[in-house]
Structure 1
C-alpha cells in the first residue's frame, strides 16, 4: 500500500510543479490555491509512505516520479522541446525509479 501512496504523492508533485507555471509568481488566486493544495497533499502522502518505506528510497522515487511526470507533461501539453537525448534520459529515470522500487522490495 505504501508504494501506491508514494505514487499518488509523486503524481501530486507533478500537479504542483506544473501548477507553478500558472501561478505567475503566486499572483493568481486559483492557480496558486490549487498548487498549494497539491503541494501539501504531496508532502503529506510522502510522509505517510515513509512510515513503511526507507526515506532515501521513498524520496528518490517521489522525486523521480515528479520529475519524469512533469517533463512528460511539459512536452505533451506545454510544447516544451522533445529531443532524442531528453527521451533517452527520461527512460533512464524510469528505469532508476523501477530499480529503486524492486531493490527495496528485495530487502
Structure 2
C-alpha cells in the first residue's frame, strides 16, 4: 500500500508543479487553488509512505515521479522542447527510480 500511495503522491507533485507554473505567481485563481490542494496532499502521501519505505528511497522515487511527470506534461501539453537528449535524460531518471525500487 505504501508504494501505491507514494506513486499517487508523486503524480500529485506533478499536478502542483504544473499548477504553480500556471498560477502566474498566485495571480490566477484556479491554478492557485489546484496548487493549494495538491501540494499538501502530495506531502501527506509522502509522509504516509515513509512509514514503511526508507526516506532516501521514498523521497527519490517521489521526486523522480514528480520531475519526470512535470517534464512530460511540459513537453506534451505546454509546448516545451522534446529533443532526444531531454528524453534520454528523463529515461535515466526513470531507470534510477526503478533501480531504487528493485534494490529497496
Give the shorter-chain TM-score range. over 0.9
Give secondary structure in 2 for the equivalent of 1:81.
Answer: coil
- 1:25 correspondence with 2:25: yes
Q: Aligned pairs, how many?
A: 104
Q: Which runs of 4+ in 1 moved over 6 A?
A: none
> 1:31 Cα shift?
1.4
State the distance in 2 between where 1:38 and 1:75 align.
21
Which TM-score applies when normalising by structure 2? 0.97
State the distance in 1 between where 2:87 and 2:22 align.
25
Give unpaired runs (5+ residues) of structure 1. Answer: none
Give unpaired runs (5+ residues) of structure 2. Answer: none
RMSD: 0.7
Which TM-score applies when normalising by structure 1? 0.95
> 1:22 Cα shift?
1.5
State the distance in 1 between where 2:30 and 2:69 align.
22
State the distance in 2 between where 1:11 and 1:74 align.
14
Give secondary structure in 2 for the equivalent of 1:24.
Answer: coil
